[in-house]
Amino acid sequence: MPNSIAPSQGYSLLQLLIALLLFSLFATLALPNYQTAMRQSARSAAKAELLRLADLQAQWRLSHTQYGTLAEIQAAAPTIPYQFAVTVNSNQAFSITATPATDAQQHDDCGILQVTQDIRLSSQNPQSCPNP
């Protein structure tokens, strides 16, 4: 019976290292884009929540003599990485702020978002985020 070597099964170490290198390269390129998309998505959700809260304020003001607090307008706590606060300046003015609540969201270009009684959205950093 002749000595025959069976063909090897599986991948060589070099092939595995090349695959690992390619995977690492793709992950390195994709991760910043993914993080930016996640921050933009959370910012969009915060803007929508700010507008919803402003609408609740307008509804509250129709039947009361002044604007209400978050508890008074019965705003449910959203599940987005922002903390919301209402400041009632007078019976004619209010502002609602959305402050980033997580480390990842604090790196967003816009920073703190705000809406006022005239439904005007603004950001803490208008130079880097002109259209929040």
One digit per residue, the tens of pLDDT, for the chain of length 132 reads: 566 666 667 889 999 999 999 999 999 999 989 988 998 899 999 999 999 999 999 999 999 888 988 888 877 777 889 999 999 987 889 999 999 998 878 888 888 999 999 988 888 888 887 777
CA distance 114 to 96: 6
Residue pair 115/50 in contact by the 8 Å Cβ criterion: yes
Length of the chain: 132
What is the DSSP track for the chain?
----PPPP-S--HHHHHHHHHHHHHHHHHHHHHHHHHHHHHHHHHHHHHHHHHHHHHHHHHHHSSS---TTTTTPPPPSSSEEEEEEE-SSS-EEEEEEE-SHHHHTSSS-SEEEETT--EEES-TTT-S--
What is the token pair recorded at 94? 């209010």
* Cα dihedral across residues 59, 63, 66, 68: positive or negative: negative
What is the token pair recorded at 22? 């390619």
